[in-house]
Copies of this chain bind each other. A is one copy, B any other.
Amino acid sequence: MIDRGFVGPKYYGVKEDLRRLALEAGPEASLPTERALAVRYGTSRTTIRQAIAELVAEGILNRTQGKGTFVAREHRAYVRQRTSFTDDAREQGLRISSIVLGIDYPVADEHSAGQLRVAPGTGLTRVERVRLIDEEPLAHEVAHLPGTLTDLEQILEQDGSLYAVLAARYGRRVAEVEDTVETSIAGPVDAGLLAIETGSPLLLIHRLGLDAAGTPVEWTRSVFRGDRFRFFARTHR
């Protein structure tokens, strides 16, 4: 609605041109090598890499050391419409799975105690997982549960839904959830777990699950791949 004449730096022109090429070439197509692009555009490889880097951050391109640079499959389709990752995904007919990285039993520090509304020093159960959709890692989650639930591990392997296990085994039903959503940047750990590059944008979501009485049942910190995930919320005014 406002006419914006704009001429940016050279890498920006390259970037927009590559974006167009990627769109035409379609998913899975491979791009020329960085060195070839540098020749084609009459620039240095650095300039090409700056352009590619931003397109990777936007989820348009993927690149793998030793292999090459490719047009990403476009599917930012996953939403979080209800309250359970498992339910959401099943509803969309997606094959979901989890890798349990670890379960341990720390005592509540000041922050987690405040979130879960228990006394600092209370025993907690902490579950660290990577969530996958169609075999692709999508999220890294650390859930904090009040109490020491020592038989959680075996149960979780059967049914990937933490909420279902909490309800069926422990009688803790989540009736309401509070989410905060913000952006974050992948550090090397999250980048490795999610198979993305350091510096990629993430959605950082903190979720507090409450039972019908308003008692906290679960407090989870999750990072989701920013290029694959879309958060959905419906609010009555």
Contacts and interface: CB of A to CB of B under 8 A. Distances in A.
B176 A237 contact: yes
Interface string A181-203: 11111001100000000110111
A175 interface: yes
A185 B200 CA distance: 10
Given A2-B128, A188-B8, A189-B6, A181 B237 contact: no
Chain copies in the assembled complex? 2
Interface stretch (A20-28, A61-69, A228-236): A228-236
A110 interface: no
A112 to B, nearest CB: 13
A231 B182 contact: yes
Interface in A23-57: 54, 57
Given A57-B199, A183-B183, A4 B189 contact: yes
Contacts of A176: 234-237
B231 A180 contact: yes
Nearest to A226: B183
Interface in A209-237: 226-227, 229-237
Contact of A58 (B54, B82, B174, B185): B185
Interface in A71-123: 76, 79, 82-83, 101-102, 104, 106
Contacts of A76: 182
A212 to B, nearest CB: 9
A128 to B, nearest CB: 5
A1 B126 contact: yes
Contacts of A1: 101-102, 104, 106, 126, 128, 142
A229 B76 CA distance: 22
B231 A83 contact: no
Given A2-B102, A82-B237, A176-B237, 14 more contacts: A1-B101, A1-B128, A6-B188, A8-B198, A58-B184, A79-B180, A177-B234, A179-B235, A180-B233, A181-B232, A181-B233, A182-B231, A183-B227, A233-B235
5 contacts: A177-B234, A179-B232, A181-B230, A181-B233, A233-B233
